[in-house]
Homo-oligomer: A and B are copies of this chain.
Amino acid sequence: MTVLILTCEQDVTADLVVARLNRTGVPVVRLDPADLPGGVALSGEYVHGAFRGHLSAGGRLVGMSGLRSIWLRRPGIPASRVAEPSGWLTEESSQALYGMLRATGARWMNDPDAARRARHKPWQLRHAQQVGLPVPATLITTFPQAARDFAERFPDLVVKPVSGTHPQEPARTVPTSRVAPGTDFAAVAFGPTLLQRRIAKTADIRLTAVGDRLLAARKLVHPDAHPDEVDVRYAASDAPWQPVDVPARTATAVHAYLRDAGLAYGAFDFAEDADGIWWFLECNQSGQFGFVEMDTDQPIAQTVADWLTHREPERQTRRDDRLRATP
């Protein structure tokens, strides 16, 4: 049983996991959908009520029924490396590859359709509320008057993008920043704007969830930090990430978040306040983990490798059950 990893060549985080998989002797096929057709080839046959599919990459051929798990990391755009790329060929290649892989029954980290839903921050915030995570008061609006009313009720606000970082490379990040007092909100009519009550945070929390395993790290906010330094990604800080225990209530809620979202992996960002409350900011279903592992020595890559390797029979669900609904 083979682990399939879909990612680009430059993905050093995937390298870490592949090294660990190699050590345990688990067969791994790593490929970039950008190389289909070309370096990557596929074939699937539907005959007499059965399906038999194969993938070939780097001279290796693997049967799709022999896939134990699929790690959807940072895949390139299908057919983007052919001599004459086109939208049509990309769509044909994407449908062929992801259509067949969706039909295999292999476990996904993460299921592509569940992942798509989980990328919507307005959905994340509601989902977090529903599983019982504390969510800072938030408004997403194109109504200037709604923004003004909200700013009256919650005068200390930050503004951030609705869509967060785009999952594809190159990533497009827009820093979260503080809203100046007396801001005129007329411009929100020209684009949905996300306003959120600023948490006076004492630390940033990154909780990496891999299946049932939760690995959390805390980065203390410098006591002299200017309150305008909101976004940990841009803050000048020499504090390292340090391992931290996950409060039991948070653990329960995070497990529910992943289960109900159909996700196997999630990188949760929280802001910890002076009372020790972890305020949910977002869950990036394809968030990086290398920087945390580097600081904390937490075995995240190993945990990912373990998840990709192991069958978890008692919790195993047929792929088709996941999206099942009563129409």
Partner of A142, one of B37, B46, B114: B37
- For A162, A192, A323, A324, which residue has the most chain B Cβ atoms within 10 angstroms? A192
Give A175-217 as 1s and 0s: 1 = Cβ < 8 Å from B's Cβ atoms: 0000000000000011110000000000000000001100000
Stretch at the interface among A13-21, A258-266, A298-306: A258-266
Distance to closest chain B CB from A136 (angstroms): 8
* A56, B189: Cα distance in complex, Å: 12
Stretch at the interface among A24-32, A88-96, A268-276: A88-96
Given contacts A44-B140, A139-B44, whether A258 and B51 have CB atoms under 8 Å apart is: no
Chain B residues contacting A323 (CB-CB under 8 Å) are: 113-114, 117, 260-262, 322-323
Q: Which residues of A contact B (CB under 8 A)?
A: 36-37, 41-51, 56, 79, 82, 88-89, 91-100, 102-103, 111-114, 116-117, 119-127, 129-130, 135, 137-143, 146, 150, 161-163, 166, 172, 189-192, 211-212, 258-265, 312, 315-317, 320-327
Chain B residues contacting A317 (CB-CB under 8 Å) are: 325-326
- For A96, A102, A135, A137, which residue has the most chain B Cβ atoms within 10 angstroms? A96
Distance to closest chain B CB from A10 (angstroms): 23
Partner of A162, one of B99, B117, B324: B99
